Amino acid sequence: MAKISELLPRSAIVLNLQSKEKFEVISELVHPLVAAGAITEESEFVSAIARRENMESTGIGLGVAIPHARTKAVSSIVLAFGRSDSGVDFNSLDGKPSHLIFLIAAPEEQKTEYIMTLARLSKLLRKDEVRIGLNKAGSPDDVVRVIVQHES
C-alpha cells in the first residue's frame, strides 16, 4: 500500500489558501488534482465531497480537516494539502477552525486503500510534531519531508 507521501503530488500542495469558505477551499484543492488527471470528472467529485460535508463533519479537531470522497470520478487514489493561516470552518466537533486541510480522492473500487489512507493520515496528524512541522513548512518539499519523517 502506498505511503501518504507517495500519494501527495507537490503540485497539489497549496501553502497559502486564498479561500475562507469550506467549499471554496475544497475547489482550490480539487483544481490541481484535475490538472494532474487524477480526478476525471470535477463536478461529480465535488458533488460527492459536498454530499459528505453536508451530512457530517470532516474536521477531526486539532485544527485539521480531511474532506474525502470515493467515486467513479477518480482514476487513482490521491491527496491534496492546503494550509490556511486564518482557518476555515469545517464544523469540527471541537468548534475550532481548520488550518491544515488534506483532501482525499479515491476511486469507487478502492475501498480498502481509501479507508487505510484515511486511518494512517488521521493517526499521523494527531502527532503534535507533524502539525507543527506542516504549519512551519515553507515549501511543498518541506511538507513532503515532514510527512516522510513521521510516517512509519
Partner 1 sequence: MERILLYVEDTPGMAAAVAWTLRLAKGMSCRVFALSVINPDAPLRRDTQTSDAEERAWSMLYEIEDDAFQKNARISLLFETGDSLQQLISLSTSYDAELIVASADCRLVCAELVRQSNRPVVFVK
End-to-end Cα separation, the chain, in angstroms: 12
Amino acid at residue number 137: A
- Residue-level length of the chain: 152
Question: Distance between CA atoms of 108 and 115, rounded to whole angstroms?
Answer: 12
Toward partner 1, which CB reaches closer, 52 or 83? 52
Binding residue for partner 1, selected from 1, 2, 35, 119, defined by CB under 8 A: 119
When the beta carbons of 93 and 136 are compared against partner 1, the nearer one is 93
150 touches partner 1 (CB under 8 A): no
Q: Report CA torsion sign: 113, 27, 11, 99.
A: negative
Residue 30 binding partner 1, by CB under 8 A: no
State the residue for C-alpha cell 488534482. 33
* In the complex, minimum distance from the CB of residue 151 to partner 1, in angstroms, rounded to a whole number: 11
Where do contacts with partner 1 occur on this chain (CB under 8 A)?
Answer: 52, 55-57, 60, 70, 93, 111, 114-116, 118-120, 122-123, 126, 152
